[in-house]
């Protein structure tokens, strides 16, 4: 029972992460970042940072904790 609910929880976290990614990569958020004042625009930097954070989260979700 325990392992089933754990894998359920993992799936829920993945869904949440995907929705978060969609939100971060899509228009309302995108337009907000694009319109930030700045000489060259913040969009590329923003995308790379969000991307990196997402990758970090995914790795944290899937990689089992290291046992000594």
Tell me which residues touch other proteins (CB under 8 A). Answer: 1, 10-11, 14-15, 17-18, 21-22, 25-27, 30-31, 34, 39-41, 43-44, 47-48, 51-52, 54-56, 58-59, 62-63
Distance between CA 40 and CA 38 in Å, rounded?
Answer: 6
Smallest gap from residue 7 Cβ to other proteins (A): 9
CA distance 12 to 51: 20
Q: How far is the CB of 46 from other proteins (least distance, A)?
A: 9
Task: Give the residue with the Cβ less far from other proteins, 37 or 68.
Answer: 37
SS3 37: coil
Structural tokens at position 48: 């790379």
The structure tokens 């799936």 sit at 11
């Amino acid at each position: 029972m325990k392992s089933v609910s754990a894998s359920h929880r993992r799936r829920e976290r993945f869904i949440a992460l995907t929705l978060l990614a969609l939100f971060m990569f899509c228009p309302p958020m995108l337009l907000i970042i694009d319109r930030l004042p700045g000489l060259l625009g913040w969009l590329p930097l923003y995308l790379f940072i969000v991307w990196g954070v997402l990758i970090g989260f995914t790795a944290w979700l899937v990689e089992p904790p290291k046992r000594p």
